[in-house]
Structure 1
Amino acid sequence: MKKIKWGIIGLGKIANKFAEDLKSVSNAELYAVASREIEKANDFSKVHNSEMAYGSYEELMNDENVDVIYIATPHVFHHQLTLKCINHGKAVLCEKPFAMNLQEAEEMITLSRQKKVFLMEALWTRFLPHFQYVRERINSGEFGKVKSVKADFGFPAEFDKNKRLFNKSLGGGSLLDIGIYPVFLAYSILGKPENIKASAEFTETGVDSACNMKFNYADGVEADLFSTFQEKTPTTAEILLEKGKIILNSRFHEPTTITVISEGKEVIKDFGVHTTGYNFEAAHVTEMYQKGRIESDIWSHTQTTDLMTLLDSIREEIGLKY
Structure 2
Amino acid sequence: MRTYNWAILGLGNIAHKFAESLALVPQARLHAVASRSLSKAQGFAGRHGAAHAVGSYEELLKVPGIDVVYIATPHSEHHAHSLLCLRAGLPVLCEKAFAVNAQQAAEMITVAQEQQVFLMEAFWTRFFPAVTKAVELVQAGVIGEVKHLVADFGFAAPYEPQGRLFNPTLAGGSLLDIGVYPLFISKLFLGEPQTVRAVATLAPTGVDVNCALVLAYASGATASLFSTLAAPTDNQCILYGTKGQLQLLGRFHAPDGVRLQLTGQPQAQEIPCEKQGLGYHYEAAHVQQCLAQGLLESPLLPLSFSLELMQLLDTVRAQIGLRYPGEG
The answer to which of 217-226 and 98-107 deviates more is: 217-226
> How far, CA to CA, are the matches of 2:250 and 2:161 in structure 1?
29
SS in 2 for 1:30: strand
Deviation per CA, 1:143-193: give whole Å up to 9, x if none. Answer: 211010000001011101011000000010000000000000000000011
> How far, CA to CA, are the matches of 1:54 and 1:214 in structure 2?
45
| Structural mapping, 1:256-267, within 5 Å | 256-262=256-262, 263-267=265-269
- Match 1:288 to one of 283, 287, 290: 290
Match for 1:202: what amino acid? L
Match for 2:267: what amino acid? K
| Structural mapping, 1:117-132, within 5 Å | 117-132=117-132
Map of 1:88 onto structure 2:
88
1:162 aligns with 2:162: yes
Once the two structures are TM-superposed, the CA of residue 270 in structure 1 deviates from its matched residue by 1.9
Q: 1:65 to 1:261 in 2, by over 3 A?
A: same
Once the two structures are TM-superposed, the CA of residue 280 in structure 1 deviates from its matched residue by 0.5
1:10 aligns with 2:1: no
Deviation per CA, 1:221-274: give whole Å up to 9, x if none. Answer: 210000001111111001001111111133110133321111232012222322
Map of 1:68 onto structure 2:
68
**Structure 1: runs of 5 or more not aligned:** none
SS in 2 for 1:164: coil
> How far, CA to CA, are the matches of 1:136 and 1:99 in structure 2?
29
Map of 1:33 onto structure 2:
33
Q: Contact 2:249–2:257 at 8 Å: present in 1 too?
A: yes
SS in 1 for 2:299: coil
1:199 aligns with 2:236: no
Map of 1:226 onto structure 2:
226
Once the two structures are TM-superposed, the CA of residue 219 in structure 1 deviates from its matched residue by 5.1
Map of 2:111 onto structure 1:
111
SS in 2 for 1:64: coil
- Match 1:268 to one of 256, 270, 275: 270
> How far, CA to CA, are the matches of 2:272 and 2:51 in structure 1?
36
How many residues are matched? 322
Q: Contact 1:175–1:211 at 8 Å: present in 2 too?
A: yes
> How far, CA to CA, are the matches of 1:23 and 1:219 in structure 2?
42
The answer to which of 213-222 and 82-91 deviates more is: 213-222
TM-score by length of 1: 0.98
The answer to which of 213-222 and 184-193 deviates more is: 213-222
> How far, CA to CA, are the matches of 1:249 and 1:316 in structure 2?
33
> How far, CA to CA, are the matches of 2:254 and 2:296 in structure 1?
26
> How far, CA to CA, are the matches of 2:142 and 2:286 in structure 1?
28
Map of 1:301 onto structure 2:
303
Percent identity of paired positions between Structure 1 and Structure 2: 44
Q: Contact 1:151–1:224 at 8 Å: present in 2 too?
A: yes
Once the two structures are TM-superposed, the CA of residue 83 in structure 1 deviates from its matched residue by 0.6
- Match 2:320 to one of 290, 303, 318: 318
Match for 1:24: what amino acid? L
SS in 2 for 1:224: strand
Match for 1:205: what amino acid? T
Q: Contact 1:255–1:277 at 8 Å: present in 2 too?
A: no
Q: 4+ runs of 1 displaced by more than 2 Å?
A: 255-258
SS in 1 for 2:192: coil
Map of 2:22 onto structure 1:
22
